[in-house]
């Protein structure tokens, strides 16, 4: 069984993430999308909420599982016998950061964990969870960026009455 993990904050999941999830799910027998419980970032959605959102958004892809983890990705991967991490690349700015993490993970894992990058589909290259949150917080339209039920949940968080 070829298994891979797609780790990230997913706060919340966007069409960009979902595009990567769909494409990666076709390359592996099982793809585990795992929400990182990152103590440094203050998220809009709790880890439990993000897991639920991801489960709903990926329910039509049978080989996708949703999970969460705390701590180092290499430990999580080792515990689950996973040797590939999937990450998405939007632009050169992602690349510098991602390259460093990928190399660190490979080294720290004793060369057991490799990272596979999928370049974003062009229509989602501009998308990020943080810009979606910023637009939504001012009542802007995020229907091009996230599934409808996710947009509703974001507007609820920001108390944008006329969008709920």
Q: Considering the candidates 41, 59, 130, 143, report the single residue annotated as catalytic.
A: 41
- Going by their DSSP bridges, the two strands 30-36 and 64-69 should be labelled as parallel
CB of 16 to ligand ADP, least distance (A): 2
Of 44 and 109, nearer to ligand ADP (C-beta) is 44
Per the structure block, which two tokens stand in for 94?
């992602």
CB of 28 to ligand ADP, least distance (A): 16
Catalytic site includes residue 129: yes
Of 148 and 162, nearer to ligand ADP (C-beta) is 148
How far is residue 116's CA from residue 70's CA, in Å, rounded to a whole number? Answer: 21
Catalytic site includes residue 9: no
Query: Phi and psi for 19 in degrees, rounded to 5?
Result: -65, -45
Determine contact, residues 5/77, Cβ cutoff 8 Å: yes
Catalytic site includes residue 3: no
CB of 132 to ligand ADP, least distance (A): 10
Catalytic site includes residue 107: no
Of 72 and 164, nearer to ligand ADP (C-beta) is 72
| Contact residues for ligand ADP, defined by CB under 6 A | 8-10, 14, 16-17, 20, 87-88, 90, 94, 120, 124, 127-129
CB of 78 to ligand ADP, least distance (A): 19
Q: Considering the candidates 9, 17, 87, 133, report the single residue annotated as catalytic.
A: 17
Per the structure block, which two tokens stand in for 136?
């939504």
Reduced 3-state DSSP string for 50-108? HHHHHHHHCCCCCCEEEEEECCCHHHHHHHCCCCEEEEEECCHHHHHHHHHHHHHHHHH
Maximum alpha-carbon separation in the chain? 53
Q: Considering the candidates 22, 83, 90, 157, report the single residue annotated as catalytic.
A: 90
Positions marked active-site: 17, 41, 90, 129
């Amino acid at each position: 069984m070829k298994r891979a993990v797609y780790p990230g904050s997913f706060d919340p999941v966007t069409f960009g993430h979902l595009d990567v999830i769909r494409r990666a799910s076709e390359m592996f027998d099982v793809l585990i999308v795992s929400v990182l419980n990152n103590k440094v970032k203050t998220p809009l959605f709790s880890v439990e909420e993000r897991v639920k959102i991801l489960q709903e958004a990926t329910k039509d892809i049978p080989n996708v599982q949703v999970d969460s983890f705390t701590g180092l990705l290499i430990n999580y991967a080792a515990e689950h016998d996973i040797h590939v991490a999937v990450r998405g690349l939007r632009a050169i700015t992602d690349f510098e950061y991602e390259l460093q993490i990928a190399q660190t993970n490979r080294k720290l894992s004793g060369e057991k964990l490799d990272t596979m990058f999928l370049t974003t589909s062009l229509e989602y290259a501009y998308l990020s969870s943080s810009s979606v949150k910023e637009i939504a917080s001012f009542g802007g339209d995020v229907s091009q960026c996230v599934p409808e039920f996710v947009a509703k949940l974001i507007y609820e968080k920001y108390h944008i009455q006329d969008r709920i």
